[in-house]
Copies of this chain bind each other. A is one copy, B any other.
Amino acid sequence: MIKTAVMGYGTIGSGVAEILEENRDVIAGQAGQEVELKYVLDLREFPDSPVADKIIHDFKILEEDPEIQIVVETMGGLNPAYPFVKACLMAGKHVVTSNKALVAAHGTELLAIARKKKVNFLFEASVGGGIPIIRPLYRCLMGERIEEITGILNGTTNYILTKMDKEGETFENALKEAQNLGYAERNPEADVEGHDTCRKIAILTAMATGKEVNYEDIYTEGITGITDIDFKYAEKMGASVKLFGTSRMKDGKVNAYVAPVMIGNSHPLCSVNDVFNGIMVRGNMLGVSMFYGSGAGKLPTASAVIADIIEAAQNLKKNVPMGWSSERQTVEPMEKTRFRYFVRFAGSFRNKEQEVKSIFGKAEVIELYGMDEFAILTAEMEEGAFKAAAAAYNEKAEAQSDYGIKQTIRAMM
């Protein structure tokens, strides 16, 4: 029998305890022996919970208990998750975590300690909730040169964008609704500003390149600037707007970013709606493959933790090669990334046609009935070139006391 401990009895931690009980037979079958929960470390008491008699408050108890072979970290945040996880690994215990902030900030060090101590540091649940994506990268797509990973990696923002798309809601109303349903935090910044997605795409990029990726190197833009008007244009174009975390890898170079992107309805990620997540992986031989499912939620995320517990149990005496080294992967500046651009202008196209064409070059024009504005969809160009064009347009407009560009959204269609 393998004894395990859960640190942090919140949503995911309690889900892990629940599945360990509910699927006890399946887990024992796969792990090769029974997996028992011995401790739950939390500051609080849970007198009415099924784990009431397992609650401990002192980390030292589990750290120093040689019976505990696998520790689950579901506290979130960096403190005390980071020192606790590090101490567990140093003590020769396997650690499974759902904590993307921890993996993004200290993954390199923790992976190295795990290797040295011949244990495993596993984090399937840190990206894509219940969707298997970390393990497919090191277990399934093994012979592939991964060329691109693009994901809808945040359920909160995807819910908001879906509401705006399907029901014509404003960002503010859709956010309020997400908050009322418990999909968004009272302080939604980490989600809507793209920080959550940024950490996740950093982890996936590091998995794909085998090198450390500093999430701070990844250009990150959220969805707070997306409006209901943008979706009206999108509808007319047979398109939608999704928050992408993307990484393109070629010849050792990486272009990575987090940003709302306008995509056509036939894009495989376009039908990923509501709180669901979808992750597209492109390999040099495989072409495009996509993984879809519940990107958050108690039981789906806990299910991914359980799969990691089983992998650790199957490899109690050895470190499974996965993750990345301490070599740093440079990320190309955003200016070098290529997109098409959806751009909205005040006024009528007829009046501004010449100016817009001379500055942005060949572009599709989209007009909405009864609106004193229009939009274009440029040809593909480097972000740097687009920015220069946009600045030139705005400068000229200002000189003429005219309105500048109203909106810009990157597009892939």
CB-nearest residue of chain B relative to A15? B285
A6-25 CB contacts (< 8 Å) to partner B? 15, 19, 22-23
* 1/0 contact string of A264-277 vs chain B (CB within 8 Å): 00101011010000
Q: Assess whether A310 is interfacial by the CB under 8 Å rule.
A: yes
User: Nearest chain B CB to A70's CB is how many angstroms away?
Assistant: 13
Q: Assess whether A359 is interfacial by the CB under 8 Å rule.
A: no
Task: State in angstroms the CA–CA spacing of A145 and B124 once bound together.
Answer: 18
Q: Which residues of B contact A297 (CB under 8 A)?
A: 287
Q: Which residues of B contact A291 (CB under 8 A)?
A: 289-292
* Contact present for B293 and A293 (CB under 8 Å): no
* 1/0 contact string of A282-326 vs chain B (CB within 8 Å): 011111111111100101101100110111000000000000000
* Contact present for B289 and A141 (CB under 8 Å): no
Q: Which of B130, B135, B268 contacts A292 (CB under 8 A)?
A: B268
Interface SS of A by simple majority: mixed
* Contact present for A23 and B140 (CB under 8 Å): no
* Contact present for A299 and B271 (CB under 8 Å): no
* Contact present for B306 and A285 (CB under 8 Å): yes
Residues of A within 8 A of B (CB): 15, 19, 22-23, 26-27, 30, 124, 130-132, 135-136, 139-145, 266, 268, 270-271, 273, 283-294, 297, 299-300, 302-303, 306-307, 309-311
CB-CB nearest 6 A-B residue pairs: A143-B306, A132-B140, A289-B293, A290-B292, A271-B271, A285-B303
